Amino acid sequence: MEKYVIVGGNSLSGKVRLSGGKNSVLTILPACLLSKGVCTIHDVPRLSDVFVMKEVLECLGARVDFSGNTMVVDSSQVTSIEVPDRLTRLMRASNLVMGPMLSRFGQAKLAYPGGCSIGSRPMDQHLRGMKTLGAQIIEKHGYIEGKATKLQGGEICLDFPSVGATENIIMAATLAKGTTILRNAAREPEIVDLQNFLNSMGTKIKGAGTDIIRIEGVRELGSVEHTIIPDRIEAGTFLTIAAINQSDIYIDNIIPEHLEAVIAKVRETGVEIYEEANGIRVISNQRTKGIDFKTMPFPGFPTDMQAQVMVLMAVSEGTSIITENIFENRFKHVDELRRMGADIRVEGRVCIVKGVKKLSGAYVETSDLRAGSALVIAGLVAEGATVVANIYHIDRGYENFEQKLRGLGAQILRVNGTKER
């Protein structure tokens, strides 16, 4: 089991270039299953979640080459319709093959993804959408199986703007007969990236980025070359790192409009943020002030940034109220932050954070990806040494995390070992 050992307290400076977006890649790779041609995708981060999705495509029969940050996917010879339990358990996003497989082959079978450590994550919205497009859905023996002779366009209104359901339904509708209108769709930038990718492949999709998406079905789809948008959650994580360490950092490869809610909130804490065409400069030279925030679907404050900004609140002046509206169990980092001296109380979906002057280094364990990056941030600002265990969670979503941090002057090492310290 690998761990991070971090010695906190360094002020950071310099420039860091961020990677392509994990969540964008995790929807664009399944979308390759729609194409009879070859899909070439650039700026693909080398993350463990991306390798799992590569394996999902390969187990369906696609040929995948991953060199540097470019992935080439050839789905002309898909030979299987089933994703095994082992892979769906490793990564929930493997459910995103359902829409493309049903659309192109009229069949898909995957082990039920089930819950995860941040809360129960049903697929009811995905499946209701597929049924509206004419698929028969059978749920038994722990598997979800979809069948359709030919999907037909339809009108769907989501109960909640689910990101995954929006993506799965868009992909299902691309090769359906007729037009699909999806209302109350999620508006995340990754959905706009998916639309751009698919339209370059030959689909007719309009409206991504708004809550009404219109998809006109087409007969077949061909080759495409595409560059993934920058990772807005990695960007928000580095913005928080700069804010908390009283640093001067330039973060390169960011689309600031994708981060507006986070930038606005971090600015409220007293940090200076200057937006440039392709990046942001963050200057923090005083103790930050506590602020309140609530997680919301895009363009609101992202749930994937809640844990990291909570650490900033833990050392800011005053009391902050943080409300988690997207997932029901996304405060697992709180107990670990308390070990480091944070004063945080959880009441249902709300956290009350009373800022302390200092955190102190401790042995902590991470339970999920963003909780993991939050604990690293805490370690960077704490007095003394912090050991963050279970960092395989962090490897799911941050490419070369420790190298990027060391480039800014942080003291962080990846070590092997089973002992606590």
Q: Which residues are catalytic?
A: 116
Strand ranges (DSSP E) for 309-396?
319-323, 343-347, 350-354, 363-365, 385-389
Name the residues that contact ligand UD1, by CB under 6 A: 23, 26, 92-93, 121-126, 160, 162-165, 186, 190, 302-304, 326-327
- Looking at the Cβ atoms of 193 and 336, the one nearer to ligand UD1 is 193
- Indicate the residue whose CB is closest to ligand UD1: 164
User: 159 vs 276, which CB is nearer to ligand UD1?
Assistant: 159
Distinct helix (H) and strand (E) counts, the chain: 14, 24
How far apart are CB 292 and ligand UD1 at their closest, in Å? 20
Neighbouring CB atoms inside 10 A of 30's CB total 28
58 three-class SS:
helix
Closest-CA residue to 164 (of 203, 202, 198, 129): 129
Contact 271, 285 (CB under 8 A): no
**Cβ pair 23, 44 in contact under 8 A:** no
Which C-beta is closer to ligand UD1: that of 26 or that of 381?
Answer: 26
Query: Cα(365)–Cα(382) distance, rounded to whole angstroms?
Result: 16
* Min dist. Cβ of residue 393 to ligand UD1 (A): 13
Q: Report in angstroms how near the CB of residue 126 gets to ligand UD1 at its nearest.
A: 5
The position carrying tokens 């049924």 is 131
For ligand UD1, the closer CB: 84 or 299: 299
The two tokens of residue 46 are 């080398």
Cross-strand partners of 63: 74
Tokens of 279: 């990046």
Query: Which CB, 52 or 382, lies closer to ligand UD1?
Result: 52
Q: DSSP of 245-311, one letter per residue?
A: TT-EEEEES--GGGGHHHHHHHHHTT-EEEE-SSEEEEE--SPPBP--EEB-STTSB-GGGHHHHHH
Cβ closer to ligand UD1: 311 or 326? Answer: 326
Q: What strands lie across the sheet with 204-206, from one edge to the other?
A: 155-157, 179-183, 212-216, 204-206
| Contact (CB, 8 A) for 356 and 331 | no
Identify which of residues 129 and 134 has a Cβ nearer to ligand UD1 in the complex. 129
Please give the Cα distance from 292 to 322 (Å, whole number): 6
Pull the structure tokens for residue 233: 């959650």
Q: Among residues 182, 188, 38, which one has the least CA distance to residue 99?
A: 182
